[in-house]
């Protein structure tokens, strides 16, 4: 035992001495080449090793598995030794791949990760593992994830927009360089400017949502001075004009078909989707660009510069094509302000045509009401010192045909209360609340619909009609005659079917007073002509005669539709018309238009643009050939008196007026029968107890027209210089009796 112990002790000391000697000695070459850090790294197999579930085994199986485990352990050690021979670069790649796998697994561990489910026990006693299913997200989680994603996208878009702005700032004046720096002559500069405008317009129209910012380049070209590299360049006037016209064409094409409203503070703070935010940003930008351009147009128009005509033309284009869009009220004020003068020129006619198109195409009556309000305010401010053409705009309103008298009258209190009680009958609190909500929804839906609500349309037309009658009645109440009085009388006649019957008597009294005042003024003017024949221009058409004719036609128009059932005597107006025929027969201005500035009215002439001859025969047709006269009939005595006096006037009138006169007598024969022409052409002795025909008596019922002889037809048929008049007189003389 002692020997063994001593031997063992000696062997142990020898081992210690060996170990110390081993570490003290120099390292072998293969150990010197090894990296101490690489030795400590686990192998790829150990990294990717996965723990497996081991089923419980019996004792016999455990003994077998022990042997197998020893063999597997030996094989694992051998594989580890083999793996240790892999170079260090491969180990680095493996480690990086492992880190990437960990990051992917971590990213997958999101709210959408799979959720494990507990096993269930079946009826036969077996245990079944259920498949895993994805975890359901809550609405808050989804909203938060979407909002985070949208914020990230907005940040990216902001960065991109900043970069784009930097690029645009570099190319901000590139078009100016191409126009003015690369060209020396005005012709080449204009050609380069046209090419630049075309390219900018094509870029914007190709994708307005992305390239809308390029409009600012065109707006730069509308300025008087351009800046390039701290240099000021005077812009050509032709380039400025073309830039304004190009902008008008672009805005007409890209403006949306709806009106953009201003967002509230609450709406600005709300979270919206990316598409909605982009749309709002685009709408804000187009409103800003459009407003700046309109402000520049208005500035040039007020300055009365050389660009006034082009700028006013652009305003008229936008008024016609973009009435539905924002700032249409400002455009109306600018255009109406141009015609709020007593003078009338080509620009005034252009503005008139634009307003006329808007009034004729207005289906809802909204724009007509706005134009009427602006005109009413402007006429008050100018104290009725405007051109008569302005008031003739009201003759183009659609409410003349669309508005009825019933729609202008408001229901009385009993009708309104009955309607309200009928709607609210047998409604609970919940039903009333639902009814109010449905009304709001219906209101929003009506605003979105293209069709116009009839109630809204009638309400707009009624308000427009009230403002028009206020303007007309103020002019009629003037103590002195005004240049606007003929247009006001024409307006009352055009809208006579919409006047309340209660105002008929008052209106007729006003018309009588105007007619008497005009007659007195005519006598005073005639006296002045005789006293100062050399100083007074007798070739100027008499405004008093025109006023008298208009008063007569207006009075008969008032009683045409609604006044048929009324028993109102208009003999005073009829006598006044009969008395006007002889003075008009010697008028040298019977076919002269009073105002040369209104010759451009080709289709429908306003009353102030008509000659005395046109007004006379329009009045005669209203007096004799209206529905009122056809139902009640025209006395033969009246027909004979007017036919005889008109034939007398025909001998002095020019060809056109004489032809109209013969045609009118032919119509009188048609409604009164052949006895009229037979009486005029008969040569038998028909002297009655009342005496012969009194040609100078201004009363159609007391002039004894039944004793008159129409010898003027023979003179017209044989000696008149106009062949048309001769043929018409021959046909009238040979009318079947």
The domain total for the chain is: 3
Residue 374 forms part of a structural domain: no
**Across the chain, which distance is largest between two alpha carbons, in Å?**
194
| Residue pair 485/388 in contact by the 8 Å Cβ criterion | no
Look up residue 65 and give its two tokens. 């598995």
The confidence score (pLDDT) of residue 603 equals: 55
The pLDDT tens digits for 478-495 are 877 788 888 898 888 888
Q: Do 594 and 663 reside in the same domain of the chain?
A: no
| Main-chain phi, psi angles of 114, to 5 degrees | -70, 145
Query: Residue 616, CB half-sphere, CA atoms under 13 Å: how many?
Result: 29
Does the structure show a pLDDT above 70 at 674? no
Query: Residue 587, CB half-sphere, CA atoms under 13 Å: how many?
Result: 25
Does the structure show a pLDDT above 80 at 67? no
The pLDDT tens digits for 256-309 are 988 898 888 888 888 889 899 999 999 999 999 999 999 999 999 998 888 999
436: left (phi over 0), alpha (psi -120 to 50) or beta: alpha
| Arithmetic mean of pLDDT, 208-227 | 89
Does the structure show a pLDDT above 60 at 453? yes
| Arithmetic mean of pLDDT, 469-477 | 90
Nearest partner of 612 among 654, 662, 666, judged by Cα: 654
Residue 401 forms part of a structural domain: no
The confidence score (pLDDT) of residue 695 equals: 85
- Helix spans in 214-345 (H): 215-221, 237-254, 265-269, 274-303, 308-321, 328-338
Does the structure show a pLDDT above 50 at 92? yes
Nearest partner of 317 among 248, 224, 372, 396, judged by Cα: 248
Q: Do 172 and 320 reside in the same domain of the chain?
A: yes
Dihedral sign (CA 633, 555, 594, 534): positive
The more confidently predicted of residues 606 and 189 is 189
Q: How confident is the model at residue 182 (pLDDT cuts 50, 70, 90)?
A: confident
| Residue pair 516/575 in contact by the 8 Å Cβ criterion | no
> How far from chain centre, in Å, is Cα 494?
28
Residue 473 forms part of a structural domain: no
Residue 554 forms part of a structural domain: yes
| Boundary of a domain, candidates 304, 325, 346 | 325
What is the H or E stretch that residue 120 is in? strand 120-121
Residue 521 forms part of a structural domain: yes
| Residue pair 308/300 in contact by the 8 Å Cβ criterion | yes
| Residue pair 590/657 in contact by the 8 Å Cβ criterion | yes
CA distances 501 to 287, 431, 508, 559, 562, Å, are 49, 44, 11, 9, 7
| Arithmetic mean of pLDDT, 135-164 | 52
Q: How confident is the model at residue 244 (pLDDT cuts 50, 70, 90)?
A: very high
Q: What is the DSSP string of 411-467?
A: P-HHHHHHHHHHHSTT--HHHHHHHHHHHHHHHHHHHHSSSPPHHHHHHHHHHHHHH
Does the structure show a pLDDT above 70 at 12? no
Q: Do 197 and 314 reside in the same domain of the chain?
A: yes
The pLDDT tens digits for 383-423 are 888 988 898 899 888 887 777 655 555 544 444 444 445 45
| Arithmetic mean of pLDDT, 137-141 | 45
| Arithmetic mean of pLDDT, 198-223 | 91
Residue 416 forms part of a structural domain: no
What is the H or E stretch that residue 475 is in? helix 454-476
Beta strands in 332-404 (DSSP E): none
Residue recorded with tokens 């260090």: 88
Size (the chain), residues: 737
Distance CA 462, CA 450 (A): 21
The confidence score (pLDDT) of residue 154 equals: 60
What percent of the chain lies above the pLDDT cut of 70?
66
Distance CA 617, CA 259 (A): 49
The confidence score (pLDDT) of residue 425 equals: 55
The confidence score (pLDDT) of residue 2 equals: 42
Q: What angle do CA 41, 45, 48 make, to 5 degrees?
A: 95
The confidence score (pLDDT) of residue 557 equals: 86
The confidence score (pLDDT) of residue 690 equals: 64
Look up residue 149 and give its two tokens. 């994603």
The pLDDT tens digits for 322-333 are 999 999 999 999
Residue 706 forms part of a structural domain: yes
Q: Do 637 and 616 reside in the same domain of the chain?
A: no
Distance CA 588, CA 422 (A): 68
Does the structure show a pLDDT above 70 at 620? yes
Does the structure show a pLDDT above 50 at 53? no
Q: Do 190 and 247 reside in the same domain of the chain?
A: yes
Domain that holds residue 728: 633-736
The confidence score (pLDDT) of residue 226 equals: 84
Q: Do 192 and 245 reside in the same domain of the chain?
A: yes
DSSP 684: S
Nearest partner of 543 among 529, 525, 556, judged by Cα: 525
Look up residue 274 and give its two tokens. 């990316």
| Arithmetic mean of pLDDT, 80-106 | 56
| Residue pair 576/620 in contact by the 8 Å Cβ criterion | no
Q: Do 710 and 621 reside in the same domain of the chain?
A: no
Q: What is the DSSP string of 335-382?
A: HHHHS-SS---HHHHHHHHHHHHHHHH-SSSHHHHHHHHHHHHHHHHH
Nearest partner of 322 among 284, 285, 361, 353, judged by Cα: 361
Does the structure show a pLDDT above 70 at 150? no
| Boundary of a domain, candidates 259, 293, 325 | 325
The more confidently predicted of residues 178 and 196 is 196
Residue 640 forms part of a structural domain: yes
| Residue pair 661/728 in contact by the 8 Å Cβ criterion | no
Q: How confident is the model at residue 66 (pLDDT cuts 50, 70, 90)?
A: very low
Q: Do 657 and 708 reside in the same domain of the chain?
A: yes
Distance CA 711, CA 683 (A): 10
Name residues whose C-beta falls within 8 Å of residue 460's C-beta, 6 or more positions apart in sequence: 364, 365, 366, 368, 369
Q: Do 580 and 725 reside in the same domain of the chain?
A: no
The confidence score (pLDDT) of residue 229 equals: 76
Q: What angle do CA 612, 614, 616 make, to 5 degrees?
A: 65
The pLDDT tens digits for 688-714 are 556 778 888 888 888 888 888 888 888
The confidence score (pLDDT) of residue 78 equals: 43
Q: Do 198 and 281 reside in the same domain of the chain?
A: yes
Average pLDDT value for the chain: 75
The pLDDT tens digits for 572-604 are 888 999 999 998 988 888 888 776 545 455 556
Q: Do 687 and 568 reside in the same domain of the chain?
A: no
b/e burial code for range 270-291 (CB count within 10 A of at least 16 → b): eeeeeeeeeeeebbeebeebbe
| Boundary of a domain, candidates 294, 325, 356 | 325
Q: Do 245 and 201 reside in the same domain of the chain?
A: yes
| Residue pair 386/341 in contact by the 8 Å Cβ criterion | yes
């Amino acid at each position: 035992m002692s020997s063994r112990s001593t031997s063992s002790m000696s062997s142990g000391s020898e081992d210690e001495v060996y170990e110390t000697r081993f570490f003290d000695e120099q390292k072998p070459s293969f150990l010197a080449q090894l990296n101490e850090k690489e030795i400590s790294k686990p192998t790829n197999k150990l990294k990717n090793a996965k723990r497996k579930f081991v089923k419980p085994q019996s004792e016999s199986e455990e003994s077998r598995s022990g042997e197998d485990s020893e063999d597997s352990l030996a094989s694992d050690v051998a594989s580890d030794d083999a793996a240790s021979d892999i170079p260090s670069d491969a180990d680095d790649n493996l480690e990086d791949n492992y880190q990437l796998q960990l990051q992917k697994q971590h990213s997958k561990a999101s709210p959408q990760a799979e959720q494990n489910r507990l096993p269930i026990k079946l009826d036969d006693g077996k245990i079944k593992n259920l498949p895993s299913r994805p975890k359901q997200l809550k609405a808050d989680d989804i909203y938060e994830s979407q909002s985070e994603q949208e914020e990230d996208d907005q940040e990216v878009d902001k960065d991109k927009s900043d970069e784009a702005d930097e690029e645009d700032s570099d190319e901000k004046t590139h078009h100016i360089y191409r126009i003015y720096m690369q060209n020396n002559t005005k012709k080449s500069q204009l050609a380069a400017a046209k090419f630049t405008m075309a390219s900018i317009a094509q870029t914007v129209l190709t994708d307005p949502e992305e390239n809308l910012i390029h409009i600012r380049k065109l707006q730069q070209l509308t300025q008087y001075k351009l800046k390039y590299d701290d240099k000021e360049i005077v812009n050509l006037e032709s380039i400025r004009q073309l830039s304004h016209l190009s902008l008008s064409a672009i805005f007409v094409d890209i403006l949306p078909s709806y009106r953009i409203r201003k967002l509230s503070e609450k709406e600005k703070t709300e979270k919206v989707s990316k598409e909605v935010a982009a749309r709002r940003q685009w709408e804000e930008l187009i409103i800003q660009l459009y407003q700046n351009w309109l402000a520049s147009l208005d500035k040039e128009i007020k300055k009365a510069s050389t660009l006034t005509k082009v700028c006013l033309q652009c305003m008229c284009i936008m008024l016609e094509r973009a009435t539905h869009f924002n700032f249409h009220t400002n455009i109306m004020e600018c255009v109406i302000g141009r015609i709020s003068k007593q003078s009338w020129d080509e620009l005034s006619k252009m503005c008139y045509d634009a307003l006329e198109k808007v009034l004729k195409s207005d289906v809802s009556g909204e724009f007509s009401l706005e134009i009427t309000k602006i005109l009413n305010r402007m006429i008050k401010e100018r104290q009725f010192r405007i051109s008569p053409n302005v008031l003739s705009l009201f003759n183009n309103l659609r409410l003349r045909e669309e508005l009825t008298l019933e729609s202008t009258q408001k229901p009385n209190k009993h009708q309104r209360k009955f309607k309200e009680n009928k709607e609210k009958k047998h409604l609970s609190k919940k039903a009333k609340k639902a009814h109010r909500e449905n009304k709001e929804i219906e209101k929003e839906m009506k605003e979105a619909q293209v069709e116009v609500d009839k109630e809204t349309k009638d309400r707009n037309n009624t308000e427009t009609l009230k403002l028009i009658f206020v303007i007309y009645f103020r002019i009629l109440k003037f103590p002195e005659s005004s240049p606007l009085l003929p247009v006001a009388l024409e307006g009352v006649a055009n809208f006579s079917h919409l006047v309340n019957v209660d105002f008929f008597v008052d209106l007729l009294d006003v018309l009588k007073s105007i007619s008497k005042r005009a007659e007195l003024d005519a006598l005073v003017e005639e006296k002045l002509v005789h006293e100062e024949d050399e100083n007074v221009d007798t070739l100027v058409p008499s405004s008093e005669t025109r006023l008298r004719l208009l008063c007569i036609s207006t009075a008969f128009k008032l009683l045409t539709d609604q006044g048929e059932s009324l028993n109102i005597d208009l003999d005073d107006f009829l006598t006044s018309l009969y008395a006007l025929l002889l003075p008009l027969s010697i008028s040298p201005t019977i076919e002269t238009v009073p105002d040369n500035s209104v010759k451009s009215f080709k289709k429908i002439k306003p009353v102030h643009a008509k000659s005395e001859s046109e007004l006379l025969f329009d009045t005669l047709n209203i007096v004799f050939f209206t529905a009122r006269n056809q139902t009640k009939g025209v006395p033969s005595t009246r027909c004979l008196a007017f036919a005889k006096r008109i034939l007398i006037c025909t001998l002095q009138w020019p060809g056109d007026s004489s032809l109209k006169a013969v045609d009118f007598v032919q119509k009188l024969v048609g409604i009164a029968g052949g006895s009229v022409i037979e009486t005029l052409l008969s040569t038998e002795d028909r002297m009655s107890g009342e005496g012969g025909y009194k040609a100078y008596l201004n009363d159609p019922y007391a002039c004894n027209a039944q004793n008159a002889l129409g010898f003027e037809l023979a003179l017209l048929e044989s000696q008149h210089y106009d062949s048309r008049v001769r043929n018409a007189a021959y046909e009238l003389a040979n009318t079947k009796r």
